[in-house]
């Protein structure tokens, strides 16, 4: 017996599939199917196939959306945990600074923007200025990361940041942007050797190059500076990791 059921061609099936994929609920999909059937009859087999394929794709989209949302939430949680940890560091260094949270947020945000470790940045700041944004050294190094005006102007050009003058170096966000850019530039110059980069940050890259050639000797103070930053960063990283695991475990249990 000849099958007299209406059939659907490839274009109709694809159109149905794509339309269904865009729908977010069964009820809306049902309304769409009703309208579609009224306009042009479709065989039950083709309709079922299109419906199954569409909602299979929709399920994948929902899973992908859920995964992206969970990842985004995890990143926000991690950033907040870093902020809280840096707040504690600042308060210990500056005796309960009232602006600790604001400063911690700036440090973490600036580090994230530059794809850099905020705990390492915090360790450098701890050695440079003890988190005092108004700090000025006898030679004119200014702000959180103790940027010399000449160095600031130099790195602003290399990093395509605008140079706003030495007066702007007391601004935490601007100072951090320049300081992090300078650290990254030094790490690149010294082929990823963080100890050399830190010595250069403290003593000057030109002096360090001369030391490599044997015409200068690296000062003990600069060696101690680099080792101190690295040691402190290592300690904080381990401690932060331990606290984060404990916090996440309590959150899951709770």
DSSP string across 174-215: HHHHHHHHHHHHHHHHTTT-HHHHHHHHHH-HHHHHHHHHTS
Structural domain for 43, as ranges: 1-95
pLDDT band at 56 (very low <50, low <70, confident <90, very high): low
Same domain, 19 and 117: no
Q: What is the pLDDT of residue 6?
A: 45
Same domain, 118 and 232: yes
Same domain, 226 and 118: yes
**DSSP annotation string for 122-190:** HHHHHHHTTT-TT-B-TT--BTTTTB-HHHHHHHHHHTT-----GGGGGSHHHHHHHHHHHHHHHHHHT
Q: What is the pLDDT of residue 8?
A: 45
Same domain, 82 and 117: no
Q: Greatest CA separation found in the chain?
A: 101
Residue whose token pair is 């996440």: 248
CA distance 37 to 47: 9
13 has pLDDT over 80: no
Tens of pLDDT, residues 196-206: 999 999 999 99
Tens of pLDDT, residues 104-152: 999 999 999 999 999 999 999 999 999 999 999 999 999 999 999 999 9
Q: What is the pLDDT of residue 59?
A: 66
CATH number at residue 218: 1.10.530.10
Q: What total of structural domains would you count in the chain?
A: 2
Same domain, 75 and 117: no
> Do 13 and 49 touch, CB atoms closer than 8 A?
yes
Burial call 71-100: b when 16+ CB within 10 Å, e when fewer: eeeeeeeebebbbebbbebbbebeeebeeb
Same domain, 87 and 116: no
């Amino acid at each position: 017996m000849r099958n007299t059921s209406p059939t659907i061609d490839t274009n109709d099936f694809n159109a149905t599939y794509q339309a269904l994929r865009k729908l977010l609920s069964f009820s809306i999909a049902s309304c769409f199917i009703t309208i579609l059937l009224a306009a042009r009859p479709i065989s039950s087999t083709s309709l079922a196939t299109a419906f199954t394929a569409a909602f299979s794709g929709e399920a994948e989209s929902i899973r992908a959306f859920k995964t992206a949302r969970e990842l985004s939430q995890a990143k926000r949680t991690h950033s907040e945990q870093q902020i809280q940890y840096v707040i504690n560091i600042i308060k210990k260094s500056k005796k309960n600074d009232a602006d600790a949270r604001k400063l911690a947020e700036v440090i973490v945000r600036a580090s994230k923007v530059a794809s850099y470790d905020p705990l390492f940045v915090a360790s450098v700041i701890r050695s440079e200025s003890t988190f005092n944004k108004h700090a000025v050294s006898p030679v004119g190094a200014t702000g959180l990361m103790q940027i010399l005006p000449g160095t600031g102007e130099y790195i602003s050009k290399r990093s395509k940041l605008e140079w706003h003058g030495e007066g702007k170096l007391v601004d935490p966000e601007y100072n951090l942007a320049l300081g992090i850019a300078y650290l990254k530039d030094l790490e690149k110059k010294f082929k990823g050797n963080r100890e050399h980069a830190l010595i250069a940050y403290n003593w000057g890259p030109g002096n360090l190059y001369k030391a490599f050639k044997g015409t200068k000797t690296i000062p003990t103070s600069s060696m101690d500076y680099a080792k101190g930053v690295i040691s402190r960063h290592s300690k904080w990283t381990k401690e932060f990791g331990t606290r984060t695991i404990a916090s996440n475990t309590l959150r899951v249990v709770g």
